[in-house]
Amino acid sequence: MSAVAAFTTFTAVAAPVFQANVDTDKLIPHKFLRKPLSAGYRNFLFYDQRFAEDGSEKDFILNRAPFDKAGILLSGRNFGCGSTREGAIYALQDFGIRCVIAPSFGDIFYANCLQNGLLPVVIGDAQAEKLNAHLEAHPGAQVSVDLAAQTVTLPYGETLRFEIDAQRKEQLLKGLDDIGITQQYSTQIDQFEAAHKKRQPWLFRAQPELTDTRATLKEGVS
């Protein structure tokens, strides 16, 4: 079973990038989605905000100490809306972010977080605003997350509970990926598929016209 980094407890500097609707184009512009993971995605995060066209650093919170070492990001509503690009997650993680706190997340982004061991934490609007005000007034303030207890402890001592799907929590705590879990259901999958095929055989018909013509097409690739 292949593993995802396990998430148990985590304490780190929290950076407030407190905007609503931070979309995935903002998190990582499309031009970097062609880079191999080995290129390192750290500098692609918020690229247009962090770097000028000539590549020099701009004045953006994540470029400044202590936030350049942030491990937690606080943002506004609908964080990660837009595309399915997982590069957004890779860039956050490569920067060192292991947890994003926001009042709501884009659905696809939220799912992508769970796939990669990045913890999305939903807190209320008012609490997010209070936390933002504190982080801005106290740069470098730390936030602690305890996944098993489903709590975040804020720098002013307040502890908030957050919700997470029970099975997802279990997987994150143990660093298990979905495929290994799904394979435990292989008998049910096979049975389902056989019945489905009987009900809608046309869905499973191999279409020679579709497959054969394509197979003969050359892409200039061997």
> Residue 165: how many CB atoms within 10 A of its CB?
10
- Among residues 140, 119, 98, the alpha carbon closest in space to that of 14 is found at 140
Kindly tell me which of 138 and 197 has the beta carbon lying closer to another protein. Answer: 197
Kindly tell me which of 66 and 193 has the beta carbon lying closer to another protein. Answer: 193
> Residue 18: how many CB atoms within 10 A of its CB?
19
User: Amino acid letter at 155?
Assistant: P
CA distance 30 to 18: 22
Size of interface with another protein, in residues (CB under 8 A):
70
77 and 148 Cβ atoms separated by less than 8 Å: no
User: Amino acid letter at 175?
Assistant: G
Question: What is the x/- site pattern for another protein, positions 87-106, by CB under 8 A?
Answer: --x--------------xxx
Q: Which position has the token pair 């994150």?
A: 172
Q: Which of 73, 144, 192, 198 binds another protein (CB under 8 A)?
A: 192
Q: Is 183 in the site for another protein (CB under 8 A)?
A: yes
Interface residues with another protein (CB under 8 A)?
A: 2, 19-21, 23, 25-26, 29-31, 33-35, 37, 48, 53, 76-78, 81-86, 89, 104-108, 111-112, 115-116, 165-169, 177-179, 181-183, 185, 188-189, 192-193, 196, 199-207, 209-211, 214, 217-221
